[in-house]
Amino acid sequence: MLFTDCPILAKDVFYHFFNSTLLLVSFLCKIIFTGKIKPSVNNFYCSAFIGNNQYTMITKIKESVAYIQKKYNTVPSVGIVLGSGLGSFTAEMKVEIEIDYDDIPHFPVSTVEGHHGKLIFGELGGKKVVAMAGRFHYYEGYTPEEVVFPIRVMKFLGITTILISNAAGGMNAGFKVGDLMVIKDHISLFTVNPLLGKNAEELGPRFPDMSEPYSKNLIAKVKAIAAAKNIDLKEGVYCGVTGPTFETRSEYKLLHIVGGDAVGMSTVQEVIAAVHMGLAVFGLSVITDLGIRKEENKITHAEVLQAAKEAEPKLTYLFKELIAGL
């Protein structure tokens, strides 16, 4: 039997072929004109139909920057990344403009409760700043390169310093819920390095030094600010993991044995990308739960958000005063 001998079959095949073609054209147009396809789809179609060499990461960064600068052309000096439950921090800013992530070409969109999803430009502590209200995580399905994409965009916008906050689980016996821990170092071996693959020299060197990922100068400034205000600060090593599961009791013990004082699902990839580009970094963790504990309780995201909210005024004060002193 010939294909043309069965008009119903021919009609169905043509119908599905026509619709598939329209869908493909729609995807290509959206990539070319807006860059707003979800990461997995975007990567597939860019590689298959546009070509890796024609649509590089640097090109994406510059296109994002160009879009933002059309909306706001003042150069910020400080970037701020807000962790889970810390989005209200921006109430202290003199906000000049807010830009939703889904309006910015190539930006992912945060899918996590407590992460608002916009870049906020304005003034804090007498300095021009840009704050990320909502960050991206590896566990959301984004690649490490996509996770750190906003950090790179902020660098190209002009920042020289970046302040990073997060909600973290405490593993140090001296910590309690609500404590603020200055990150003096981190362990990144339990997550994926964002610099894997061909190095972009325009961003930084092939083998960046990580002996001081968190600026000792900035740490000293924050300690002095906290002491003058009688704010109790802890100091320790942050251990980055992929998530999205909270750690088992045995995993908490393991991470503490290898040197971690707190653990979380963010930060280290962002810090690696920032250091690669020569940014000065300060990191602060809000201890929102205790991993090593005797109680038989379970950890919930709602409790994490509540603990972060209660600690937010102290974090806001420290960031504001640090920025004022830069």
Note the pLDDT tens digit of each residue in 111-127. Answer: 766 556 899 999 999 99
Identify whether 94 is part of a domain.
yes
Q: What is the DSSP letter of 292?
A: S
Is 11 part of any domain? Answer: no
Instruction: State mean pLDDT over 181-194.
Output: 97
Q: Which residues of 26-53 are buried (b: 16+ CB within 10 A; e: fewer)?
A: ebeeebeeebbbebeebbebbeeeeeee
Asked if the structure places residue 9 within a domain, the reply is no
Q: What stretches of 213-291 show up as alpha helix (H) in DSSP?
A: 216-228, 249-257, 268-276
Prediction pTM value: 0.81
Q: How far is CA 48 from CA 36, 41, 45, 53, 116, in A?
A: 17, 11, 5, 11, 32
Say if residue 244 is preceded by a cis peptide, omega within 30 of 0. Answer: yes
Instruction: Give the number of other Cβ atoms within 10 Å of residue 132's Cβ.
Output: 28
Residue 102 sits in a domain whose CATH number is 3.40.50.1580
How far apart CA 229 and CA 313 sit, in angstroms, is 13
Work out whether strand 180-190 and strand 118-124 pair parallel, antiparallel, or are unpaired.
unpaired
Contacts of 13 (CB under 8 A, 6+ apart): none
Weakest-pLDDT range from 6-20, 93-107, 134-148: 6-20
- Tell which residue, 111, 92, 91, 93, has the closest CA to residue 101: 111
Minimum mean pLDDT range among 110-114, 173-177, 311-315:
110-114
Domain hosting residue 240, numbered range: 56-324
Q: Is residue 237 part of a domain?
A: yes
E strands, the chain, in order: 78-82, 94-100, 118-124, 127-133, 161-170, 180-190, 233-241, 262-264, 280-290
Confidence of residue 13 (pLDDT cuts 50, 70, 90): very low
User: How much is the mean pLDDT over the chain?
Assistant: 83
Q: What is the mean pLDDT of residues 129-157?
A: 95
pLDDT beyond 60 at 168: yes
Q: How far apart are CA 185 and CA 190, in angstroms?
A: 15
Within-domain flag for 257: yes
Using alpha carbons only, give the angle 183, 275, 113 rounded to the nearest 5 degrees. 60
Q: For residue 24, tell me if it sits in a domain.
A: no
pLDDT value at position 195? 96
Is the residue at 93 inside a domain? yes
Contact between 181 and 287 under an 8 Å Cβ cutoff? The reply is: yes
Count of structural domains, the chain: 1
pLDDT category of residue 55 using cuts at 50, 70 and 90: low
Indicate the pLDDT class of residue 131, thresholds 50, 70 and 90.
very high
Residue 39 resides in a domain: no
Cα 230 to Cα 228: distance, rounded to the nearest angstrom = 6
SS3 305: helix
